[in-house]
Structure 1
Amino acid sequence: MPIRIITDSASDIVSPQREEITVLPMTISFEDQHYQDGVNLTHQQFYEYLIEGDTLPITSQVSPGEFSEAFQRAVAAGETVVTVTLSKKLSGTWQSACLAAQDYPGQVYVVDSENATIGEMILVERAVELLDQGKSAEEIAGCLEKEKKAVRLIALLDTLEYLKRGGRISPATALVGGLLSVKPVVAVREGEVVVLGKARGSKNGNSLLVQEIEKTAGVDFHRPYRLGYTGLSDALLQKYIADSRQLWQDHTDALPVCTVGGTIGTHVGPGAIAVAFFTRD
């Protein structure tokens, strides 16, 4: 039986490379203007609006009705479904998918990625690998539930401004951080964003990011991995790639790079760089 893999646009999969993948858009609102992420709002347009605006946009989850329509189309086409969502601790999207899936027992399987952006993306890419191995939808979902524990998403932020705007840190903390050029390194752990450390300046920030990656069990280059950046330029990411060459140069000739969209970009702002990978067993 053919398999459909459905995810939300928080995975930042802009143009699916496989026809088996369906991306359902989150809604991003700039005051009274509402956009469908990846449909009528590109990542570049999002950052242009974000930089120009004075207030933070609002992101809205995919609704149960939107999931239900997607599930109905897939089942009607004779497909079984594996759905991978943004962490349930960061959004209600997982709950929406679960509510819609109740009408399709044994036909639709929902997996909480416990991650976001490129961390969610590589789990979707892993689902495709498992599909190509001939596994059923139920088997793929079971594998993802186990393997998602090995996914690591680590990021270096360029500014504290957007954390301040979102109320996640105080204006005083943001002011001091800006004056000292503090670059926080954050990660997603068990579905939540945590701060791993802080460095002064981009060079020290890159070094701290490399150190945090080295603390893991190591990158599994046999499963999907990805680098991402927020904003309109990948200059900071390219600098990081050059600084971290020892991590990857013996394993691959090139690193897959993509932009991080509005679901996460709203909270971290432009200039952030992120790395997502599976750790070695």
Structure 2
Amino acid sequence: MPVRIITDSGSEYKSSDHPALEVLPLTVAFGDDVYREGVDITYDQFYEMLTEREEFPSTGQATPFLFQEALERAREAGEDVVVITMSSRLSGTYQNACMAAAAAREAGLETVRVVDSLNMTLGERIVVQYALQLVDEGLGANEIADALEASVPRVRIVGLVDTLEYLKRGGRISAAAGTVGELLSIKPVITVTDGEVIVLGKARGSKKGRTLLHQEIEKVGGIDFDMPGALGYSGLSDKTLRKYLEEYRDVWEGGIAEEDLPISQVGAAIGVHVGPGGIAVAFFSRA
């Protein structure tokens, strides 16, 4: 039975990236203006609006109706389905997918599995990428879902936030803490653990921040280059990411060719909170 992978746009994928993939858009709203990510607004347009508009944006989850429509298309095409969503602890998208999956089974879709990536942005992306690799290898939906659920605990994402402005504007930190942090040039290093975002450490200055990012990768035993990985940047330029890659070539040299480095621009789901200038590394740990 053919397998379709369905995910949300928080994975930084587009439906056109693979013939077995369908990506359902999250929404981003600036005041009364609501856009579907990747449909009505590009990542570049989002970052331009983020820096130019006075309203602080909000993001919305993929609705049960969107999932229901996608699952019905799969049923009509005679496909089994694996749905992969961003962390259930960060968004209601996982619950919406589960609701739609239950309804689809009652409507006759024989096999549909919903996998909680327990991650977001690039962490979710590499789970989807792994699923697509397994589709290409000819595995069935249940085999793919089982493999994903077994591998999710090995997913690591580490990010460096360049500015505290957007965390402050979004109410994620206090105005006072944000102001002091900006004055001291504090660069938080963040990760996702058990499906939730936590701060690993705080460095003064970009270079120390990039060093802390590198140290956190080493702590988990390095990168399993036999599995998917991803590098990402927020904003309109990947300059900070390129600087990081040049400073810490030992992280990837010998594991992957420079021209094959998987670099992605991250979208609104995380961009709303970190603003431009952030960088992230997502990978499967060796253990």
TM-score (normalised: structure 2): 0.96
Asked if 1:122 corresponds to 2:126, the answer is yes
Amino acid corresponding to residue 111 of structure 1 in structure 2: V
Equivalence for 2:46: 46
Counterpart of 2:71 in 1: which secondary structure?
A: helix
Counterpart of 2:69 in 1: which secondary structure?
A: helix
Per-residue CA deviation, residues 145-181 of structure 1 (Å, 9 max, x unaligned), is: 1101100010000001111111111111111111111
Report the more deviating stretch, 96-105 or 34-43.
Answer: 96-105
Shift in Å, 1:54: 2.1
Q: Which runs of 5+ in 1 are unaligned?
A: none
Amino acid corresponding to residue 87 of structure 1 in structure 2: S
Amino acid corresponding to residue 25 of structure 2 in structure 1: P
Per-residue CA deviation, residues 226-250 of structure 1 (Å, 9 max, x unaligned), is: 0000001111010011111011111
Q: Percent identity?
A: 54
User: Is 2:87–2:120's contact at 8 Å kept on the other side of the alignment?
Assistant: yes
List structure 1 segments (4+ residues) > 2 angstroms apart after TM superposition.
Answer: 14-17, 103-106
Counterpart of 2:103 in 1: which secondary structure?
A: coil
User: Is 1:75–1:107's contact at 8 Å kept on the other side of the alignment?
Assistant: no
Equivalence for 1:184: 188
Equivalence for 1:257: 263
What is the RMSD computed on CA atoms of the aligned residues? 1.0
Shift in Å, 1:40: 1.2
Find the aligned partners of 2:133 and 2:152 in 1 and give their Cα distance.
14
Amino acid corresponding to residue 69 of structure 2 in structure 1: E
User: Is 2:15–2:21's contact at 8 Å kept on the other side of the alignment?
Assistant: no
Q: Which runs of 5+ in 2 are unaligned?
A: none
Equivalence for 1:275: 281
Find the aligned partners of 2:209 and 2:15 in 1 and give their Cα distance.
31
Asked if 1:137 corresponds to 2:135, the answer is no
Find the aligned partners of 1:189 and 1:122 in 2 and give their Cα distance.
16
Shift in Å, 1:16: 3.8
TM-score (normalised: structure 1): 0.98
User: Is 2:11–2:86's contact at 8 Å kept on the other side of the alignment?
Assistant: yes
Shift in Å, 1:32: 0.9
Amino acid corresponding to residue 194 of structure 1 in structure 2: I
Find the aligned partners of 1:225 and 1:131 in 2 and give their Cα distance.
17
Counterpart of 1:39 in 2: which secondary structure?
A: coil
Shift in Å, 1:253: 1.0
Find the aligned partners of 2:9 and 2:266 in 1 and give their Cα distance.
10
User: Is 2:68–2:104's contact at 8 Å kept on the other side of the alignment?
Assistant: no
Counting matched residue pairs gives 281
Shift in Å, 1:15: 5.7
